[in-house]
């Protein structure tokens, strides 16, 4: 089998493997759980193999597939969640990388009943870089049904709590940027749970504070979450009002 893509994208493969290892070190993935993908060219996706602990993955284990899901380089089979990733990249062509993992505090919210605090404006960085995080209804893993359940949410949001399952985060940035957003979201979820555990009420930022965070977005050249043109402002995202 030709190894041209492994040679062409050697730096990206190295970065991809480091992100796999960091997810494992953080205990954001355990066992064979979790997977990630990075769109490196118009018809080239770098993706994790099936049934491997991410802490053990080496550059030789990763797989290159095309946007129809066919393996184009690699000795292993791609993750069984491939249908989900193909849907993501097809319906969100602006997205460059996606991570599905099971960070413990975000996943606590995936099994909790009650208000989804990750939809609310709590911290400036989480608001501007991750955005609101809706709950995608449960479906059997590795199925087309699970992929379809994302449809109502994919255009508007970049991060998703999978009910009774885990977390998906995507971005227009490289796989490292998406990992940083995962870590930011996990710490936000941890803060929520610590405040609730201590018996405190959660304090949100108000509408004016969120509106003014648009200044931060412009200063840092941050794109609004969601597909281009779908969302008009942070205020609209969090308060469902016109800009």
Which of 70-79, 152-161, 234-243 has the lowest average pLDDT?
234-243
End-to-end CA distance of the chain: 53
The domain in which residue 20 lies consists of 4-239
Position 242 confidence tier, pLDDT thresholds 50, 70, 90: very low
Q: What is the pLDDT of residue 187?
A: 98
Q: What is the pLDDT of residues 105-138, one digit of tens each?
A: 999 999 999 999 999 999 999 999 999 999 999 9
Interval 207-232 mean pLDDT:
96
Residue 65 binned pLDDT confidence (cut-offs 50, 70, 90): very high
Q: Give the angle subtended at the CA of 150 by the CAs of 24 and 173, to the nearest 5°.
A: 55
What is the rounded (10 degree) CA torsion for 162, 53, 27, 164?
Answer: 20
Task: Give strand pairing partners of 35.
Answer: 100
Could you tell me the CATH number of the domain that includes residue 145?
3.40.225.10
The residues that bridge with 41 in the sheet, in sequence order, are 44
In this structure, the chain runs to a length of 243
> In terms of Cα–Cα distance, which of 130, 138, 124 is closest to 169?
130
For residue 176, is pLDDT > 90? yes
Note the pLDDT of residue 174: 98
Maximum distance among all Cα pairs of the chain, rounded to whole angstroms = 59
pLDDT the model gives residue 243: 34
- Catalytic pick from 7, 60, 73, 81? 81
pTM (whole model) above 0.85: yes
Confidence of residue 241 (pLDDT cuts 50, 70, 90): low
- Residue 55 burial by CB count (10 A; 0-12/13-18/19+): exposed, middle or buried? middle
pLDDT band at residue 3 using 50, 70 and 90 as cut-offs: confident
pLDDT of residue 86: 96
Q: How many domains does the chain have?
A: 1
Write the DSSP assignment of the chain as a string of letters: ---HHHHHTHHHHHHHHHHHHHHHHTTSS-TT--EEEEEEETTEEEEPBSS--GGG--GGG-EEE-TTS-EEE-SSPBPTTHHHHHHHHHH-TT--EEEEE--HHHHHHHS--S--GGGS---HHIIIII---PEEPP--TTSHHHHHHTHHHHTT-SEEEETTTEEEEEESS-HHHHHHHHHHHHHHHHHHHHHHHTTPPPPPP-HHHHHHHHHHHHHHTPPPSSSTTT---HHHHHH----
81 as an active site residue: the answer is: yes
* Paired tokens of 176: 């490292």
For residues 87-96, give the mean pLDDT: 97
Q: Which tokens is 52 given?
A: 């491997």
């Amino acid at each position: 089998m030709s190894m041209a893509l492994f040679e062409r994208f050697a730096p990206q493969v190295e970065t991809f493997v480091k992100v796999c290892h960091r997810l494992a070190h953080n205990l954001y993935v355990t066992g064979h759980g979790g997977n990630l993908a990075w769109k490196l060219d118009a018809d080239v996706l770098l993706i994790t193999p099936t049934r491997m602990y991410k802490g053990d993955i080496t550059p030789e284990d990763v797989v290159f597939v095309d946007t129809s899901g066919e393996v184009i380089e690699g000795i292993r089979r791609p993750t069984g969640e491939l249908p989900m990733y193909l849907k993501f990249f097809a319906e969100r062509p602006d997205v460059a990388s996606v991570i599905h993992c099971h960070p413990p505090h975000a996943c606590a919210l995936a099994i909790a009943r009650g208000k989804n605090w990750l939809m609310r404006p709590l911290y400036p960085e989480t608001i501007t870089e991750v955005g609101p995080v809706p709950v995608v209804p449960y479906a059997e893993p590795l199925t087309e049904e699970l992929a379809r359940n994302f449809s109502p949410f994919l255009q508007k949001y970049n991060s998703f709590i999978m009910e009774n399952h885990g977390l998906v985060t995507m971005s227009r940035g490289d796989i490292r940027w998406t990992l940083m957003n995962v870590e930011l979201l996990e710490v936000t979820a941890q803060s929520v749970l610590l405040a609730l555990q201590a018996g405190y009420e959660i304090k949100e930022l108000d509408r004016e504070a969120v509106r003014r965070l648009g200044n931060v977005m412009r200063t840092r050249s941050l794109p609004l979450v969601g597909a281009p043109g779908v969302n008009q402002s942070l205020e609209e995202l969090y308060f469902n009002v016109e800009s």
